[in-house]
Amino acid sequence: MEHEWKTIIEPFKIKSVEPLGLTTREERHNILETAHYNLFNIRAEKVLIDLLTDSGTGAMSAAQWGGIMVGDESYAGARSYYNFENEIKDLTGFAEVIPVHQGRAAEKILFTVIGGKGRYIIANSHFDTTRANVEFSGAAAVDFPVKEALDFDKPAPFKGNADVAAMERFIKEKGAKNIPLAVMTVTNNSLGGQPVSMENLKAVQELCRRHGIPMFLDCARFAENAYFIKLREKGYAQCPVREIAQEMFELADGTWMSAKKDALVNIGGFLALNNRDWSAKARQLLILTEGFNTYGGLAGRDLEAIAIGLREVLEESYLQYRIRSSAYLGEGLLKHGVPIINPPGGHGVYVNAKKFLPHIKPENFPAQALACALYLEGGIRSVEIGTLMFGKRDKNGRFQAAPMELVRLAIPRRVYTQSHIDYVIEVFGLLAKNPAGIKGLEVVEAPEILPHFTARLKPAEQAA
Ligand X SMILES: *Cc1c(COP(=O)(O)O)cnc(C)c1O
Identify the residue among 159, 260, 381, 413 touching ligand X (CB under 6 A): 260
Selecting among 128, 156, 203, 401, the annotated active-site residue is 128
Contact 285, 271 (CB under 8 A): no
Does the annotation count 211 as an active-site position?
no
Catalytic residue among 54, 218, 253, 262: 218
Task: Choose which of 189, 194, 279, 294 interacts with ligand X (CB under 6 A).
Answer: 189
Task: From 162-170, 253-261, 317-325, 434-442, give the range in contact with ligand X by CB under 6 A.
Answer: 253-261
| Residue in 124, 130, 161, 352 binding ligand X, rule: CB under 6 A | 130
Q: What binding mask, one character per residue, do residues 269-288 give for ligand X by CB under 6 A, x or -?
A: x-------------------
Q: Which is nearer to ligand X, 68 or 110 (CB)?
A: 110
Q: Does residue 452 carry a catalytic annotation? A: yes
Q: Specify whether 263 is catalytic.
A: no
For residues 186 and 160, the answer to whether their CB atoms sit within 8 Å is yes
Shortest separation between residue 72's beta carbon and ligand X, angstroms? 23
CB of 150 to ligand X, least distance (A): 19
Q: Are 214 and 176 in contact (CB under 8 A)?
A: no
**Is residue 218 flagged as an active site residue?**
yes
Question: Using the rule CB under 6 A, is 131 a contact of ligand X?
Answer: no
Task: Report in angstroms how near the CB of residue 158 gets to ligand X at its nearest.
Answer: 16
Q: Are 340 and 352 in contact (CB under 8 A)?
A: yes
In whole angstroms, the minimum distance from the beta carbon of 369 to ligand X comes to 26
Quick one: 32 or 407, whose CB is closer to ligand X?
Answer: 407
Tell me whether residue 143 is one of the annotated catalytic residues. Answer: no
Q: How far is the CB of 416 from ligand X (least distance, A)?
A: 19
Going 416 to 418 to 420 to 421, the CA torsion angle's sign is: positive
Q: How far is the CB of 223 from ligand X (least distance, A)?
A: 13
Interacting residues with ligand X between 158 and 187 (CB under 6 A): 185
Q: Does residue 84 have an active-site annotation?
A: no
Q: What's the rounded Cα separation, in Å, for the pair 287 and 77?
A: 15
Positions 53 through 112 that interact with ligand X (CB under 6 A) = 55, 102-104
What x/- string results for residues 202 through 221 when contact with ligand X is judged by CB under 6 A? ----------------x-x-
Nearer to ligand X, 267 or 340 (CB): 267
Q: Which residue is at the shortest CB distance from ligand X? A: 103
Q: Are 80 and 141 in contact (CB under 8 A)?
A: no
C-beta closer to ligand X: residue 260 or 408: 260
Residue (201 or 460) nearer to ligand X, CB: 201
Sequence-ordered list of residues with C-beta below 8 angstroms from that of 59, at least 6 positions apart, any chain: 412, 413, 414, 415
Nearer to ligand X, 357 or 383 (CB): 383
Catalytic residue list contains 416: no
Is 194 one of the binding residues for ligand X (CB under 6 A)? no
> Does the footprint of ligand X cover residue 261 (CB under 6 A)?
yes
Count interface residues toward ligand X (CB under 6 A): 15
Catalytic residue among 141, 149, 220, 305: 220
Catalytic residues: 75, 127-128, 218, 220, 261, 452
Contacts with ligand X, residue ranges (CB under 6 A): 55, 102-104, 127, 129-130, 185, 189, 218, 220, 258, 260-261, 269
